[in-house]
Amino acid sequence: MKLKLLISGLAGMTIALATTPALAQEVNILRNPSLEELDARGLPVGWFSNANTGSGYEVEIDTQSQTDGAHSVKLFSNENPEAPFANLAQSIDASAYRGHRLRLTASVKTGTPASRHLGLWFRVDKADGTTGFFDNMRRRPISSLEWETYAIEGFVDPSATRITIGVIMAGEGEAWLDQVRLVDLGFQPLEAAAAKQRSEPRLTRLDGDLAAAPLHEEGKQNLMAFARLYGLVRWFHPSDAAINADWEAFAIASIPVVERASDAGELAQALHQAFVPLAATLQIAPGTPDDLNEAQKTQGPVWQWQHYGLGGTSRVYRSNRVRLENAEGATTLTEQLPGGVSFRLPLYTSVAEEGSGNARSDDARFAGKPDRWTPSGHDRTTRLASTIAAWTTLAHFYPYWDEVRVDWQTRLDETLSDAASAPDDKAFHLVLQSLVASIDDGHGWVGYPNNADAVLPIDWTTIGGELIVTAVADGVTGVEPGMIVTSIDGVTAEQALAEERRRMSGSVHYRQTMAEQFSRVGAKDEAVVLSVRKEAGPTSFVTLTMQDVVRSGQFQKVRPQTFVELAPGIFYIDLSRISQVDMDDALVRIADAQGLVFDLRGYPRINTEWLARLTDEPIRSAKFMRPELTGPDGQARYDEDGGWTIAPIETRLTQNVVFLTNASAISYAESVLGTVKANGLGTIVGSPTAGANGNVSEVSLPGGYTLRYTGMKVLNRDGSQHHLIGVTPDIAVSPTREGVAVGKDEVLEAGVDLVIARARQAKQS
């Protein structure tokens, strides 16, 4: 039986990757994984459960249904179980697996009735009481009545204490479990390093912070040379020393020395001093590549990096050293760098000279700094280090350079100068965000604490080049839907939106949507003065106060209830608001519907089982393609077979289906709509989606900043470009100012009218 490997991604989408069954040499680290060894009560030895304890759930041995051996374990409930869920689980000591990735697999099937949720679960507990990893298949529950093998992969944090795995069932139902495996996939050096080097932001200045100062041209050229070697050695030179390096401390210690170099000779010496301890085979010299010594040949087997995305940045990405029998197929880079120096760097190391890569130095991190000093955006060197870390990560691992037109080297030049002169941590946050904005990635963002935790109690959008109020919270006076906002705190609405767009990343239409959202964001209780007018009236001024999201987030009155019957047999479901439990209930009620309107103007948080009820044959999603790299500069190979395969479910829903969408639909929403489009599951009404799909990578930067970007390439199922384009509607409909003024949702009305007309036509025929 083929193993279905289902891995949940940070971006919220779920990719399905085919893999082969576990290899024979993979050791199952569980006790009694076959569930065959029973205790005096007749239950599996080594396992625990909250069933059989008055919870309303029971667990028993079933000798009539199993995948192997004499029996399986059955978990079932009465009609109204007292506990919210039941489990069958096993817990093990995590100490032997810290920094490792583990794979849990098990054979499972459900019965009838189906429970509200059934899934495997996998949790890693850390020493500080927090959770290092958790997955219970909440968004991809098990629903098959036949035995299938399911899997979860999880990373064990370097500080982990316990690992707990098992199966979980919520609500009335029954399920069977058999043949559980938990195997060690080995030490993950980049994931372990990333987990250890995450730092919390320091928001105040400390002694030891270097003040802002301009970056002179010679120093900038030196740092650009440093940035090139930093990315190559960190991500592509597989030595133990590079794996174990504290890259944050390394950059902060090296940057001032490199920047001060006054000529090519001093620069070569500074780079040699910094990098050769991490890459012993690196050659650096003033002049051209012709001034370097001949490359020395390495005998015997060698290590090189193999990256599937960037390991440690998401559950679906992995980086490991792989063994080659000789160096003939490996790469050696020879280049001239800014600052008048050249280098030669083998992107491999001798197996005989390298160990496991597990060791880590405990040397003092920030020599020469005061006690308790930590990196911060208040410190000039930290800002330069963070810039270099972000720039090099994107240079090598961002998968969309073919679709993006930007001179990345020039952006490094500009951003280093801006970082050196930024007055504080918040100003530097904007510098980093501007860098990420230039890669045109809707997932692209730099996380950092700020005081923007509230929103204006109105909503607006751009229609015909003007900023139009679309909704107003209860109790707000002086402004109403349909009004034109001409200025925000004295700045014209056009200028305010342009400034926000400059900081946003992604397609043109997604940047506009995000600019509209962020122009409403600020600090709680902050007063904002708006100038507003009706189409042909005088301008008036209104002062509004920023409110927390809980109080202000209920004013979008245009949309119907989350799930409602709009007309006899015609149902509306807002997929961006409905819960999984309510969706499960809705699927029962719409079984005989004459027409369905699914609203995907936003981000859904439910599984894709409902899509299986819209087809009579297996369907495929867009192509989700992890990059495979063994060398730098984004030169990746892609497996184009990735993506969802969804088998039909017998209870077929109506074919009279419409989907509503706009630019707020991103990532997982686009995976859903891409599947709809590719397989003709319905008519899409509205405007193009964001044009940003694929699991997000998240990288910690010096100073407590977090870089997020799309780490995977996604193409439409037919192989055409999705990035920056999105899913285009079959029928284009956009709001009008006149419609907004009278409370119309014109996109919804167009979709509903289409469904009703088709339903009538079907009756007449």
Predicted pLDDT of residue 10: 29
pLDDT at 549: 65
Q: What are phi and psi of 199, to 5 degrees?
A: -125, 145
Give the tokens for residue 431.
């510098």
Residue 5, classed as helix, strand or coil, is strand
What does the pLDDT average to over 602-620?
A: 92
Residues 6+ apart with CB under 8 A from 459: 469, 470, 471, 472, 520, 555, 556
- C-alpha separations of 646 from 6, 110, 676, 765 in Å: 12, 18, 12, 32
pLDDT at 20 over 80: no
Q: Please give the average per-residue pLDDT across 293-306, as a whole number.
A: 89
pLDDT tens track for 338-393: 999 999 999 999 998 887 555 444 445 787 889 889 999 999 999 999 999 999 99
Task: List the one residue out of 700, 238, 693 whose CA is nearest residue 446.
Answer: 700
pLDDT digits (tens, 9 = 90+) for 67-81: 988 999 998 887 778
CA–CA dist 671, 727 (Å, integer): 9
What single letter denotes the amino acid at residue 175?
A: A
Q: Which alpha helices (DSSP H) does 557-646 contain, by range?
A: 580-589
Residue 627 has pLDDT above 70, yes or no: yes
How crowded is residue 54: how many other Cβ atoms within 10 Å of its Cβ? 9
Per residue, the 3-state secondary structure of 673-725, as one string, reads HHHHHHHCCCEEEECCCCCCCCCEEEEEECCCEEEEEECCEEECCCCCECCCC
Task: Tell me which of 273 and 584 has the higher pLDDT.
Answer: 273
Confidence (pLDDT) at 553: 46
Place of tokens 């100073």: 703
CA distance 405 to 408: 9
User: Measured between alpha carbons, how far apart are the two ends of the chain, in Å?
Assistant: 45
Cα 198 to its chain centre, rounded Å, is 17
The secondary structure of residue 428, as a DSSP letter, is H
Residue 49 host element (H or E): strand 48-49
The Cα–Cα gap between 461 and 736 comes to 10
Most confident of the following: 141-150, 452-461, 620-629: 620-629
Task: Say whether pLDDT at 99 is over 90.
Answer: no
CA 42/CA 37 separation, integer angstroms: 9
Q: Residue 15 above 70 pLDDT?
A: no
Q: What is the pTM of this model?
A: 0.84
